Amino acid sequence: LPEFSFLRYATAKNPDPKSINSISEADGGGLVHFLVLYDTPDDQIRQAESELRIKFRNPKINLLGPVFFTKGDYVVVSSVLGQNGKEEKKLIGVGQAPVFENSKVAFSFMLNPLEAQLLMESFKMATPDVSIMFDLTFSGVTQAYDAEVEVNWSMVEKNEYYHEKTNILFYSSEVHKSFSELHKTGAIKIRTAGKDSLMAQILDATYEKLLNMMFNPVKPSEIPLDQKKGFMEEIFGTGGLAGLGLFGASRTYILKELKTEGKSTVSLNSYSTVERRHLITFNVGNIFEKYGKDKRVFRDVTLEDPVFQQRDVLVNIDGDLQSAFEDIVKSAAISFRKDHQNGRETIREVFLTKNTLSENDGRIAMSYLNQEDKDRLKWLDYQYQVQWNFGAEGNYQTGWIDQNTPIINLYAPYKRHVINLDADADKLKAENIRAVSIQIEYDFFGKKKQKRLTVKPGDDLSTKFFDLTLPIDQQSVDYSITWIRNDGSKETINDKDEYGLIFLDEIPQK
């Protein structure tokens, strides 16, 4: 059997007193749950090796292994009929995917009655219009250029793209257009001593730097409902699934609150780590043709008698969280509590570790029965809390969270925050700076942590950065910079980082 199930359910609803029809539509919906395994088949690896040997005329070429992805997002899309009678792409579910090969991804989605009906009709087609797209990110190193970029923040803030737009979504095409406009108006100046033929690559490197300084990415799941149609149009355009090539480039951003004044200079004369994206997409296939009559795969039920009802609450593990069990998270305990209307209480608990995650088949669920729960809506209500264990790094407990959905989405309560360093080495030397000491201080769930780096003029700054793990709601970290001159005198400032970039050549004047 395929690791797939589609349950459509129907429930009665109160009749409309104004209706004269004796037959009306019932309430209900659908629940889709399936697992996807993505890897690279051996025959494709051998074929790629063969083609590379022919292309480069070298029979000794071998593929050593896969590209390691650092993070990934997935989007599940189907077609629905719009109000104008035309077919529209519909987001069924979004989330983060595991970032290692030979892994299963568990999907669970709730559908309203119309979506459940349309999805079923789509499954019945010869080529079901249900597709899954993975947007996978991997890291690489950019070339160093004999160039530097000057940003005039006053001109940036006056630009029409950024003036009073801190809460507006920007698509990647708009971001690129805005950077081009800033370049034309002189808000961004590029000085280079290199070849003109490299200007396109220099522009790409410049835009990469500016993107990290000025924008925060927005996940598809965080896009407001009234703007999701625009997100789908940005991805697909008018070409339907033929436009999927745009997905890797079509990202959504929100402008950071720009507080920088004056001018900043960013050097491109060192190698930098950058992110690149790879798109994988596939169609679910003709699963209904093979298993449409198998009740273990496709099933329609009527939820009428409460005595025989059982509710399953699925635990959906975020893709980034799976990899976090390799290094940061030691365990996570999910406690579940259901207060029934007859005064009884149902308690469930799931304990997750690295081993239990690798052993489970992608379905983690906690169940409870109907114990004289007359109010059907209140029967759906429950509470859960998560106890995180970070080993020597401490613990964190969420407290009880009220919920009524059939899915608990488990996300790591922290995020990765990288702080890069940038400086003009010639300026430091001109100021007689011998070394610069940078200290970072931040809180990790009640435990104070510190990190320190020392930079000397001429150091390769691409190897000098802070890689921090912060609570998910923490927006800034404290830092101090101490400049040590050749004569032993020192200058120190204290500030906060919000953008992931600290300039070391902005030396306070005595």
C-alpha span between 256 and 216 (Å, rounded): 6
3-state secondary structure at position 6: strand
% the chain with pLDDT above 70? 82
C-alpha span between 129 and 277 (Å, rounded): 24
| Cα distances (angstroms) measured from residue 212 to each of 72, 108, 175 | 18, 33, 12
pLDDT digit string (tens) for 298-312?
998 877 777 777 888
The answer to whether 483 touches 464, Cβ cutoff 8 Å, is no
3-state secondary structure at position 284: coil
* Top CATH class, 305-412: mainly beta
pLDDT digit string (tens) for 346-357?
999 999 988 887
Please report where in the chains the tokens 């890897």 appear, as a residue.
Answer: 39
Q: What single letter denotes the amino acid at residue 190?
A: I
Q: What single letter denotes the amino acid at residue 46?
A: R
pLDDT given for residue 386 in this prediction: 95
Both tokens of residue 200?
Answer: 């396109």
pLDDT digit of tens for each residue in the chain (510 aa)? 788 899 998 876 766 656 555 555 677 888 888 877 777 888 999 999 999 999 999 999 999 887 777 777 777 787 655 556 566 677 777 777 666 555 666 777 788 888 888 888 888 877 777 888 877 778 888 778 888 888 888 888 777 766 655 566 777 777 778 888 888 888 889 888 766 667 777 887 888 888 878 877 777 666 666 665 555 555 555 443 333 333 344 567 777 776 667 788 888 887 777 777 777 787 888 889 899 999 999 998 877 777 777 888 988 887 677 777 777 888 999 999 999 999 999 999 999 988 887 776 666 889 999 998 889 899 999 999 999 998 878 889 999 999 999 889 888 888 888 999 998 888 999 999 999 999 999 988 888 899 999 999 988 888 899 988 888 888 889 999 999 999 999 999 999 988 889 999 888 876
pLDDT digit string (tens) for 138-176?
888 877 888 888 888 888 877 776 665 556 677 777 777
Assigned CATH for 413-510: 2.60.40
The answer to whether 381 touches 402, Cβ cutoff 8 Å, is yes
C-alpha span between 99 and 111 (Å, rounded): 27
Nearest 5 degrees, angle CA 131-CA 37-CA 4?
65
Domain with CATH 2.60.40 in the chain: 305-412, 413-510
C-alpha span between 371 and 341 (Å, rounded): 7
Both tokens of residue 292?
Answer: 């449409």
